[in-house]
Each structure stands twice: as C-alpha cells, then as structure tokens.
A and B are shown apart, each in its own frame.
Chain A
Amino acid sequence: MIMEILTAAAIGIGALFVLMGVIGLFRFPDFFTRIHAAGVTDTAGAGLFILGLALHSGLTVATLKLLFILFFSFFTSPTGTYAVANSAVRFGLQPWIRPGKGGADG
C-alpha cells in the first residue's frame, strides 16, 4: 500500500516537473534560457519518473534497465545540452538582455 502511494507520488511529481519544464520552454524569452527549462525536464522530471517506475517494479531486471536509462541520461543530457549551446555561441546567437539592464552597471 505504501509502495503504491510512493510510486504514484513519484510518478505524479515527475510528470508535473516535465510539464512545468515544457511550459518554461514557452515562457522564457531566449534560446539560452530555454536550455534551463529543458534541463529541468530532463533531470528532475525524468529522474523522479524513472525512480517511481523503479519503485513499482521492485528488485528485478526491469529496475536495472530503468536505472541504466537514468545513468545514461545523466551523462548524455548535459553533453547534448552543452553541444547545442556551444554550437549556438559559435553560430553567433546573442543572449537576451532585459531592456534597461545589462552592461557594466546593470
């Protein structure tokens, strides 16, 4: 019973984080800030989601596969994010600065 509650809570909160992250993809004004939203989706959302599924399945091979997905995304998600951001900087994208701030004084 308690495992069911924990599983439902973990999966539910993970799905909520995923939804909040993708709403952030629309609310943020700039590409470089949207990377933060996508990162929330991938770490908090995917982490809680997969941990909830692993709690549900107990000590089986399926848990090992789920934890491998998490472990793999732990390495590939920052690498992919860094590669996209680096490509954007080389491409010449300028970060968005709030009008009125920015510069040496802001």
Chain B
Amino acid sequence: MNEYTVIGAAAALLVTMGLALLRAILGPTVHDRILAANVFGTKTVLFLALLAFATDRLDLLDLAIAYSLLNFVGTLALLSFFPRGYNRAESPGHESDQSSS
C-alpha cells in the first residue's frame, strides 16, 4: 500500500480518536460520553484494519472483528445503568391519569 495513504489515513484516524476522547471528557450529558466512547470504538476497529494492511500482519483483522463485537456489547452494557421501564404517563403528548413504571 502506498505509504502516503497509510500515513494520511492513520493521522486522520488518530486525530478523530483524540477528538472523540475530547468530546467524552467535555460532553455535558452522560449520553454524549457514551456516544463518544462508541465512536472511539468504531475508529479503533478501522485503525486496526489499517494496521493489519500496513504492517502486513493480517491477524489483526481478527482482532478488529472481535473488538467490533466488544464495542457493541460494551455500549449496550453502559446503557443498562440507566433506569429501564418506559413510563408512558410522562412521555410527551400523553396525558397522565395513572402512572405505570
């Protein structure tokens, strides 16, 4: 692979991951941080795929597959800390005469 392609793509991906981390630090709400962590995970998968072809070690592609699964499960696991159970009485546009949780 052309070395300028590798360097350019790697630089763009690293800047992206750094900015995603910055959003994870700054983000005013918790969900901003969860979203930024998810973006960081997907960029890690792309970076691993690029490394696999740049260093000619195609085993890193298996790592990328495994990490994409881990990233997905990890994002869903973070969301389990929020209360589940849809309270329809408090949803917008739904008048409440009795509440259910």
Contacts and interface: CB of A to CB of B under 8 A. Distances in A.
B5 to A, nearest CB: 5
Where chain B touches its partner, the secondary structure class is: helix
B12 interface: yes
Task: Give the bracket for the number of chain A residues in contact with chain B.
Answer: 35 or more
Interface residues of B, number: 46
Nearest to B45: A69
Interface in A18-70: 18-19, 21-23, 25-26, 31, 34-35, 38, 41-42, 45-46, 49-50, 53, 56-57, 61-62, 65-66, 68-69
29 contacts: A7-B1, A12-B9, A15-B12, A15-B13, A16-B12, A18-B43, A22-B20, A22-B23, A25-B20, A31-B35, A34-B23, A41-B39, A45-B46, A46-B45, A62-B53, A66-B61, A68-B65, A69-B49, A72-B69, A73-B45, A73-B68, A77-B42, A80-B72, A83-B76, A84-B31, A84-B79, A88-B31, A90-B82, A91-B82
Interface of B: 1-2, 4-5, 8-9, 12-13, 15-16, 19-20, 22-23, 29, 31-32, 34-36, 38-39, 42-43, 45-46, 49-50, 52-53, 58, 61-62, 64-65, 68-69, 72, 75-76, 79, 82-84, 86-87
